[in-house]
Amino acid sequence: MFMISFFDTIQLFVHLTAVFYILNSKPHFDLPDYLIGAVMNASWVSMLILSIFLNLNRLISIVFHFKSNRIFSPFTMKIYFSIILVIWCIVCFLNSVGYSRMVYLLPAYTWHYASANPLSAFLRTASANISLVDVLFSLFAHVSIFSYIYFKAALLSRKELILTIQVVCVSVFHVIGYLTWEYFPIPWDLPIGVFIGHVVWMVWNSINPMLYVLINPSV
């Protein structure tokens, strides 16, 4: 959960640059802006993949607990996190050198993929699909977990229970965020629409760090 919180926090700090763009009242499309967008995009994609991994961890640790020590050993965890960091670097590189761009657009007041770049559409589709997989797998994992607990009358340790509650809360907000951004008719042309969209996105990215710090930072 620390890694997800780390990438979430990066996104939240990057989003603060929007204040500069808004106060300056004009779009910026220079190298610093592209680098900021690259960090934003890479952190977003990495966070989604880590979210799927976290739900997989909960599913295996509870339902298939007899295999969890082998699958999530300290050595294999280093491999998994190394792969995530490689993905972060690849996405950041593609955005930095111009194969894709994520820029902050005015007056839309949101981050968008620049359609003129060759891989922008691909990364946008990929991130949307990863987000969908995150939502669907989260639902599947927690239905499986609670079904196992109910039918097997399984008792979780305090540590496992707290961690599972954290993951459930995070997953709920991920589902709400995805459904809101993909299907809710947000009136982006109105101030209230911009407010709703940004609040949902901010909560989506801040819920995990908040729970990590407030509830159980040792897990």
Q: Residue 79's CB: how many other CB atoms inside 10 A?
A: 10
Rounded to an integer, the average pLDDT of 197-209 is: 78
Rounded to an integer, the average pLDDT of 67-84 is: 88
Give pLDDT, residue 208: 75
Closest C-alpha to 124, from 64, 182, 194, 211: 182
Q: What percent of the chain has pLDDT over 70?
A: 88
- pLDDT-based confidence at residue 25 (cuts at 50, 70, 90): low
Residue 8 has pLDDT above 70, yes or no: yes
Rounded to an integer, the average pLDDT of 61-78 is: 86
Please state, in angstroms and rounded to a whole number, the distance separating the CA atoms of residues 22 and 39: 20
Express each pLDDT in 155-193 by its tens digit: 777 777 777 788 888 888 888 888 887 788 888 778 788
Give pLDDT, residue 82: 92
Please state, in angstroms and rounded to a whole number, the distance separating the CA atoms of residues 180 and 159: 32
Express each pLDDT in 108-146 by its tens digit: 667 777 777 778 888 888 888 888 898 899 889 888 888
* Cβ-based burial of 215 (10 A; exposed 0-12, middle 13-18, buried ≥19): middle
Residue 217 has pLDDT above 80, yes or no: no
Q: Any idea which fold 2-212 has? A: Rhopdopsin 7-helix transmembrane proteins (1.20.1070)
Exposure letters 116-148 (e unless 16+ CB within 10 A, then b): ebebbeebbeebeebbeebbebbeebbebbeeb
Please state, in angstroms and rounded to a whole number, the distance separating the CA atoms of residues 219 and 212: 8
Instruction: Kindly list the domain boundaries of the chain, sorted by start residue.
Output: 2-212
Q: What Å distances lie between residue 149 and 66, 136, 153, 161, 201, CA to CA?
A: 15, 20, 5, 11, 32
Residue 90 has pLDDT above 70, yes or no: yes
Give pLDDT, residue 218: 55
Give pLDDT, residue 79: 92
Model confidence, pTM: 0.81
Rounded to an integer, the average pLDDT of 45-69 is: 87
Please state, in angstroms and rounded to a whole number, the distance separating the CA atoms of residues 66 and 52: 21
SS3 111: strand
